[in-house]
Amino acid sequence: MENNTVDQFMDIRAATVAKMLEEKEKGMKVVGIYCTFCPQELVLAAGAIPVGLCGTREEPIPAAEEVLPRNLCPLIKSSYGFAATDTCPFFNFSNLIVGETTCDGKKKMFEIMQELKPVHVMQLPHRHKAGASLDLWVDEIRSLRTKIEAELQVEIKDEDIWKAINLVNQEKKALKEISDLNRNSPPPMSGLELLTVVWSGGFSFDKKELVEMLAELKKTLESREVDPQFAKKPRILLTGCPVGLGSEKVVRLVDELGATVVAMENCTGYKTLELMADTTKNDPIVALAEKYLNIPCSCMSPNPYRMDLLGRMIDDFNAEAVIDLTWQACHTYNIESHEVEKVVKDKGLPFLHLESDYSSSDEESLKVRIEAMLEMIEK
């Protein structure tokens, strides 16, 4: 029997809810975040717990549609629906919500969410390298620091930001090392296991504990006896919009059809795992601004680093085909699929763009399309 199996990660979310219930009584503060662009190091430096609030389930969407347009991305509707129906314990626990002006749907949703909780929206520039973008983002991170200090009644010291930077850098390194194990053949983790680890880790109450859990899991996976037959399964790279437990249908269908998702380039996967804040900088806010401005999200225009990352991941993980999963009405990822297809075709691999939502109504047609793509893989 394996110790430190992936199953332990399944329990993180429930354990954090229980712990937060206890700690809230003692005055612990929680900051809810919706996007990878939020510099969670500032939250940790304030002695608070950052928690991801992105909705990955279909259930609250009808309630959201009473306020938001129906033809909006399911991630936004699910996120708002959980908040509006007060069915997400983490939203309930949050003292402050941090949003960013990433895509149009999200930024306008945050305006409405302010009716429910204090929401601070960071103005995100949309060009990676421009000097003016960096100046603006530095200012925005300084404003966030001031907002957290005021809202949580704490002082955020530079030395605490550096400590938090080190901790988050360690977390990213540990997650990358786990994800990189799937470069092997056969891969030690199925797609669903990979998703469980990286998604559940985001709910951890204590990042130090999470880093230790990841180190233990790495040892377990390195010595795992994987059926050699698994090496015959077609290796799929998943890219596109974020996916979590509840919206994992494509990862599951790939598995059911005899292939396996060996890596995910999206925000729940590898997208930010190579990005570390530079600890040699004089100012921790500048170090954070440079790190976060490099995130290859489709809201950035242009977004060359995503194509570069995809190309490298295809090679590193020996991908045999790429699925680009985009949520309905996500204009930026849907349009960027054109560029993604070129990167994949240049590598001579089959490419499949799937546009879907959180319902199960299209599972049969998704299955047929994935099956057709798998038939194109040369063995």
Nearest-approach distance from CB 307 to ligand SF4, in angstroms: 15
Residue 26: CB atoms within 10 Å: 6
Strands 260-264 and 119-122, sheet pairing: unpaired
Nearest-approach distance from CB 287 to ligand SF4, in angstroms: 19
Complex with ligand SF4: residue 108 or 347, whichever CB lies closer: 108
Complex with ligand SF4: residue 56 or 332, whichever CB lies closer: 332
Complex with ligand SF4: residue 6 or 330, whichever CB lies closer: 330
**CA dist., res. 342 & res. 345, Å (int):** 5
- Exposed, middle or buried by CB within 10 Å (0-12, 13-18, 19+), for 23? middle
Complex with ligand SF4: residue 9 or 333, whichever CB lies closer: 333
Nearest-approach distance from CB 224 to ligand SF4, in angstroms: 30
Q: Which residues of 204-238 are buried (b: 16+ CB within 10 A; e: fewer)?
A: bbebeebbebbeebbeebeeeeeeeeeeebbbbbb
Complex with ligand SF4: residue 28 or 112, whichever CB lies closer: 112
Backbone dihedral region of 16: left (phi > 0), alpha (psi from -120 to 50 degrees) or beta? alpha
Which stretches of the chain bind ligand SF4, using CB under 6 A?
35-37, 73, 75-76, 102-103, 105-106, 241-242, 267, 295, 297, 299, 327, 330, 332-333
Nearest-approach distance from CB 226 to ligand SF4, in angstroms: 31
Nearest-approach distance from CB 334 to ligand SF4, in angstroms: 8
Complex with ligand SF4: residue 204 or 303, whichever CB lies closer: 303
Nearest-approach distance from CB 79 to ligand SF4, in angstroms: 8
